[in-house]
């Protein structure tokens, strides 16, 4: 009886080792003083660190608040349907799909589908770190999601190389002037790709793009509208 029980315990331990490798092999890498990443894949962790350094440089040059608190980025294999990444407000935590899983969820005609998966992955890291930087954004309403996403998409597109950024502009097909009224929460939630394209067109129609970003991040410029 004892021998049989011992055999079953050994078998159960073997199943656990096979079934849950993520719990054993995920390692935490420090990307800098405030950003760290946990990933099973060393190359993916390096990409996150590269993107985080790019993000912090962009923030400093373009009016986005500095990140001066620890931010934990976890590379995962699954997120809720439709999501490739998620910043948990107030928790200083970001979840990112592995690049391969992110690629599977990316729609062929999305605003960023022209990017190779590595460039897209890094741009998503920068998008989510922008949310972290703007957590606590001054807002006269219950939520300023439009301003928050405006800055996040702006940093995401700004992080691209010149060729990829130009392709993003060409694929949007936007030539007319974009008014702030077109940047609504309804468009954001119903057509996020169109929102991203309109954001970039709108930003480039400002006299000083980074000054405008600074105005949004500081609460001096308000794009959101209160509920009626």
Per domain, the residue ranges of the chain are 24-108
- At 227 the pLDDT is 58
pTM (two decimals): 0.87
CA distance 205 to 67: 28
CA dihedral 147, 107, 99, 145 (to 10 degrees): 10
Q: Show the tokens assigned to 78.
A: 């699954």
CATH class, range 24-108: alpha beta
Beta pairing partners, 69? none
Q: Are 74 and 94 in contact (CB under 8 A)?
A: yes
> Is residue 138 within 8 Å of 219, Cβ to Cβ?
yes
Instruction: Write down the pLDDT at residue 10.
Output: 41
CA distance 139 to 45: 34
Environment class of 50 (CB within 10 Å of its CB; exposed 0-12, middle 13-18, buried 19+): middle
pLDDT of residue 25: 56
- Show the tokens assigned to 84: 């490739």
Q: What is the pLDDT of residue 226?
A: 67
The DSSP-derived string for 93-145 is EEEEE-HHHHHHHS-TTSTTTTS-HHHHHHHHHHHHHHHHHTTT---SSS--H
Q: Which residue has the tokens 């009224």?
A: 181
Strand pairing report for 71-76 and 93-97: parallel
Distance, CA of 65 to CA of 10 (rounded, Å): 52
| 73 strand-pairing partners | 37, 94
pLDDT digits (tens), the chain, 228 positions: 434 434 433 443 433 333 333 334 568 999 999 999 999 999 999 999 999 999 999 999 999 999 999 999 999 999 998 899 999 999 999 999 999 999 999 988 899 999 999 999 999 999 999 999 999 889 898 889 999 999 999 999 999 999 999 999 999 999 999 999 999 999 999 999 999 999 999 999 999 999 999 999 999 999 998 654
Token match 């040059």: residue?
61
- pLDDT in the model for residue 5: 35
């Amino acid at each position: 009886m004892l021998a049989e029980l011992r055999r079953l315990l050994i078998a159960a331990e073997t199943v656990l080792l096979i079934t849950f490798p993520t719990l054993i092999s995920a390692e935490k890498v420090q990307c800098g003083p405030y950003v760290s990443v946990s990933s099973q894949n060393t190359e993916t962790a390096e990409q996150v660190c590269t993107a985080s350094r790019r993000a912090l440089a962009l923030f400093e040059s373009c009016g986005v608040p500095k990140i001066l608190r620890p931010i934990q980025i976890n590379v995962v294999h699954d997120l809720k349907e439709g999501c490739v990444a998620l910043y948990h407000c107030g928790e200083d935590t970001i979840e990112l799909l592995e690049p391969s899983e992110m690629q599977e969820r990316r729609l062929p005609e999305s605003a960023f589908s022209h990017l190779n998966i590595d460039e897209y992955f890094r741009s998503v890291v920068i998008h989510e770190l922008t949310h972290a930087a703007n957590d606590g954004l001054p807002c006269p309403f219950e939520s300023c999601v439009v301003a928050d996403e405006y800055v996040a998409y702006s940093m995401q597109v700004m992080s691209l190389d010149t060729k990829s950024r130009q392709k993003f502009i060409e694929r949007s097909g936007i030539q007319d002037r974009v008014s702030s009224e077109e940047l609504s929460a309804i468009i954001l939630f119903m057509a996020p790709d169109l929102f991203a394209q309109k954001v970039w067109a709108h930003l480039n129609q400002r006299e000083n793009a980074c000054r405008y970003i600074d105005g949004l991040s500081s609460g001096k410029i308000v794009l959101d509208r209160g509920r009626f």
